[in-house]
Structure 1
Amino acid sequence: MPALFRHIIFLFGFLALTSIAHTDANPGAKVNSQAVVQHYADLAYAVYSDAETSARQLQIQLNRFLEAPDQQGLIAAQKAWQTARIPYQQSEAFRFGNPVVDDWEHQLNSWPLDEGLIDYVADDYFAALGNIGGDLNIIANPTINLGGEIIDASIISAELLRSLHELGGSAANVTTGYHAIEFLLWGQDLHGHELGAGERPYTDYSQGAACSNGNCDRRAAYLRTVASILIDDLSYMVKQWAPNQAGNYRSQILAMDKQIVLARMFNGIGSLSLGELGGERIKVSLEANSTEDEHDCFSDNTHWSHYYNGLGIENVYLGRYQRLNGTTLKGPSLSDLVRQAKPEVDRKTRQTLSATMASLKVLTDTAEAKDKPMRFDMLIAEGNQRGEEILSAILKDLVAQTRAIESAASTINIDPTATGL
């Protein structure tokens, strides 16, 4: 899909805005903007803390697997990756308005990626048009010739991988983050629009004669390194939202004009909802029938990533987040502010957002069905009427909640584009 079209979709989401919510407005004492902003920072701290914790659990499983590679260990590592996606995908509701997040997130969640930059690929693999890094294969090449510039890749270090990330200014040159790890755990999904995810053999990490596809030592080194980078990046963001730390981002927004922070909150959930989730992640894939535009394309985990994006938006509007340990953090919210001004507007907003979550549940139920499951890459296949119905229903609900969120923001005199940026 042309970059210009993607940009137009994003701008539409930026200007139109949207959100998600269920029921549960706080019916208690009256709240003010200061309390809502304070709780918003608490939510961000909790979500990013869970993301870091789950990434550390992922690292533990990766290290166990790499110590003695077998199929059971590979599956355990894959499940740990899927668990780690749960809090991170909810954290994306803090994008599109908080510059500390926007300047950072590409290190963790850039997609789609040209996997030929990282490792071996199928013979019919095609990199993005004009991408100079699309087939460099870092794992197979201790020395990389980049247009006459020789890069020493003999040691797969964090410095090397960070230097090659988005090489040449191409967003497809992804060397770090969740999707790099995903590719290293699953490999390419060669099933097209048929059922099945990537099928990387665990022997790709076996040492000595048992090694498949060569360079198993370097592949293991890459996996260990990229997991460490992920944790470093998440740790940085946790510190940015941590309480009682002078000079971090949390301290900045707590001292900021609260109208600006509320605008950032509305802008963030709106842009994620329609511009990113509805546009980039669903509409583009559906219209192009393109598995390359599937978000979690190697693991076929896309339905859950979309669901947790939706849940993240709901979290911010309702001021609620269920942590990985099962406890629920809840406090003053945008919903409270809107309800205090016009209860019927808040009620309508929550109704439309509940409808979106219900549509997203249809997506996950369909993907996880015991009898004839249809994953996202199957749903976007040309001629799949059921898939088009499911995804079109989600898009319709995203548009409806966009209008509701616009109305909610207007009700409390917030211009979501007035973010002070």
Structure 2
Amino acid sequence: MTRSPRALLAATALAGLLATAPALAITPVPAAPTAEAVVETYADIAHAMYADSLAAARDLRGAVDALLENPSDETLAAAREAWRAARVPYQQTEGLRFGNAVVDDWEGKVNAWPLDEGLIDYVASDSYGEESDENPLYTANVVANETIRVGRETIDASTIDAALLQALHEADGVEANVSTGYHAIEFLLWGQDLNGTDAGAGARPASDFALGEGCTSANCERRRDYLVAATDLLVSDLEEMVAAWEDGGAARADIAGKGAEGGLATILTGLGSLSYGELAGERMKLGLLLHDPEEEHDCFSDNTHNSHYYNQVGMQALYGGRYERTDGSIVEGPGLADYAQAQAPEAAQAVSAAMEEAHARLAVMKQRADDGIEAYDQMLALGNTEGNAVLQAGVEGLVSQARALETLVADLGLTITVEGSDSLDDPTLVQ
């Protein structure tokens, strides 16, 4: 068939366009990440989280120096703010526990709670009491006493230093004898919160750290020594964990040595256990069942809403393979979310949705406290229907997250053991 001149012209023009047009880019579908790559990203994020925690602890140490050089309302407020800031990166690390023995064996030195604060310093006996059947060191008061009786042994406490604090940590086999870590420092900076479920946190005066005639509550020099020793220990303990996640470090080597399936199981064990037994159960539901402000995690500072919120932020970072550092830089790589999406897409989507929902519910709790509506301990109060509901919504979101993770574990053909909690599994056992 003979083409018309118009058709020939169109064909020629089209041929010219095709000859000069750039080749269309074909984006290849990204290959599913290997389990080994996922574990490597996880270890890189762990290292960055602990490095940020260490940097913040060093900032806290500087703020403590400023407080002790010139005890005032301003320097005490700055030290407290540095403590709060130090909690932000550290709380994001807690999804690294439970599956990583190196972390779980170490964690009690820096974040053990609850604590019997009478071991450390003076307390209000009318609310705290004067003795405990479970703890002979309930009111040992290291700051005030130069000898401490632990069982049949008498410990020389004339010098308050790191060695003394380490010797007294969980002394007599009592877990509530917490002498080191964030919460010991928190108590020293704030003092007891004597407000129950009413508004207000601890109100220790700056003069508790003054020297000479300005000293209040006595033993200010020893209290200063305790604060320095506890902060120095926090820094050195975090240095240990940063090193553990460096190339060749014990924690990184341990998870790499578990193989592909073992590494993935470790990641999921930490996320599932923190979601369910630890955060939803022991840290949130238990306090709701008892309506007890003593069951809040950062009980002296009224910072619990932030601690719980950043636990969730950290779990999302570990699952997604993307962590935003304190300085705004990003550490990211192939994450468990990517691996799960390739291997078990339906379960992976359910986990992502559950994590977003849990995050949103905990954000409501955080915003309620940040806006000054009420602190976490007030939300726990008996008869506070609205506050209780906010916390219960967070519990339910975390439980749903744990259930979604369990389904993913099964779909990936893995086996893990998740920490339980009487508060969730059998509330009748809670007293």
TM-score normalized by the length of structure 1: 0.90
Amino acid aligned to 1:417: T
Q: Tell me what 2:377 maps to.
A: 377
Matched, 1:200 2:204: yes
How far did residue 353 of structure 1 move? 0.9
Q: Distance in 2 between matches of 1:93 and 1:352?
A: 16
Indicate how the Cα distance of structure 1 residues 146 and 413 shifts in structure 2: closer, same or farther if over 3 A, else same. closer
Matched, 1:75 2:82: no
Residues 193, 291 of structure 1: 8 Å contact kept: yes
Q: Tell me what 1:221 maps to.
A: 225
Identity between Structure 1 and Structure 2 (%):
46
Q: Distance in 2 between matches of 1:128 and 1:83?
A: 34
How far did residue 112 of structure 1 move? 0.7
Matched, 1:255 2:262: no
Alignment of 1:302-321 (within 5 A): 302-321=304-323
Residues 305, 376 of structure 2: 8 Å contact kept: yes
Residues 48, 238 of structure 1: 8 Å contact kept: yes
Alignment of 1:2-21 (within 5 A): none
How far did residue 248 of structure 1 move? 2.4
Residues 114, 128 of structure 1: 8 Å contact kept: no
Q: Which runs of 5+ in 2 are unaligned?
A: 1-28, 419-431
Q: Distance in 2 between matches of 1:283 and 1:328?
A: 33
What is the SS of the residue equivalent to 1:250?
Answer: helix
Amino acid aligned to 1:250: R
Q: Tell me what 1:406 maps to.
A: 406
Indicate how the Cα distance of structure 1 residues 71 and 326 shifts in structure 2: closer, same or farther if over 3 A, else same. same
Q: Tell me what 1:284 maps to.
A: 286
Q: Distance in 1 between matches of 2:261 and 2:39?
A: 10
Q: Tell me what 2:140 maps to.
A: 136
How far did residue 310 of structure 1 move? 0.9
Indicate how the Cα distance of structure 1 residues 329 and 163 shifts in structure 2: closer, same or farther if over 3 A, else same. same
What is the SS of the residue equivalent to 1:195?
Answer: coil
Q: Distance in 2 between matches of 1:268 and 1:342?
A: 20
Alignment of 1:260-279 (within 5 A): 260-279=262-281
Greater mean deviation of Cα atoms: 252-261 or 390-399? 252-261
Amino acid aligned to 2:210: S
Aligned residues: 389
Amino acid aligned to 1:220: R
Greater mean deviation of Cα atoms: 327-336 or 138-147? 138-147
Greater mean deviation of Cα atoms: 138-147 or 331-340? 138-147
**Deviations along 1:74-110, whole A, 9 cap, x unmatched?**
0000000001001111111100010001111001111
Q: Tell me what 1:388 maps to.
A: 388
Task: Give the alignment partner of residue 42 of structure 2, picking from 26, 40, 43.
Answer: 40
How far did residue 142 of structure 1 move? 1.2
Matched, 1:156 2:156: no
How far did residue 403 of structure 1 move? 1.6
What is the SS of the residue equivalent to 2:125?
Answer: coil
Q: Distance in 2 between matches of 1:269 and 1:399?
A: 11
Indicate how the Cα distance of structure 1 residues 204 and 28 shifts in structure 2: closer, same or farther if over 3 A, else same. farther
Q: Tell me what 1:118 maps to.
A: 120
Q: Tell me what 1:324 maps to.
A: 326
Q: Tell me what 1:18 maps to.
A: none
How far did residue 249 of structure 1 move? 2.4
How far did residue 293 of structure 1 move? 1.1
Matched, 1:237 2:263: no
Q: Tell me what 1:3 maps to.
A: none
Q: Distance in 2 between matches of 1:399 and 1:148?
A: 45
What is the SS of the residue equivalent to 1:104?
Answer: helix
Amino acid aligned to 1:284: L
Greater mean deviation of Cα atoms: 178-187 or 406-415? 406-415
Amino acid aligned to 1:262: L
How far did residue 417 of structure 1 move? 3.2
Q: Kindly indicate whether structure 1 or structure 2 has the higher relative contact order, using CA contacts under 8 Å at least 6 residues apart.
A: 1
Aligned-CA RMSD value: 1.5
Matched, 1:179 2:188: no
How far did residue 28 of structure 1 move? 4.2
What is the SS of the residue equivalent to 2:92?
Answer: helix
**Deviations along 1:13-48, whole A, 9 cap, x unmatched?**
xxxxxxxxxxxxxx8442110100111110110001
Q: Distance in 2 between matches of 1:219 and 1:363?
A: 34
Task: Give the alignment partner of residue 97 of structure 1, picking from 65, 84, 99.
Answer: 99
Indicate how the Cα distance of structure 1 residues 99 and 209 shifts in structure 2: closer, same or farther if over 3 A, else same. same
Q: Distance in 1 between matches of 2:66 and 2:344?
A: 54
Q: Distance in 2 between matches of 1:211 and 1:309?
A: 38
What is the SS of the residue equivalent to 1:269?
Answer: helix
Matched, 1:333 2:357: no
Q: Distance in 2 between matches of 1:250 and 1:121?
A: 42
Amino acid aligned to 1:167: A
How far did residue 409 of structure 1 move? 1.7
Q: Tell me what 1:50 maps to.
A: 52
Amino acid aligned to 1:395: V
Residues 92, 312 of structure 2: 8 Å contact kept: yes
Amino acid aligned to 2:221: D
Q: Distance in 2 between matches of 1:254 and 1:210?
A: 55
How far did residue 128 of structure 1 move? 4.8
Q: Distance in 2 between matches of 1:134 and 1:267?
A: 34
How far did residue 393 of structure 1 move? 0.8
TM-score normalized by the length of structure 2: 0.88
What is the SS of the residue equivalent to 1:151?
Answer: strand
Indicate how the Cα distance of structure 1 residues 235 and 38 shifts in structure 2: closer, same or farther if over 3 A, else same. same
How far did residue 250 of structure 1 move? 1.0
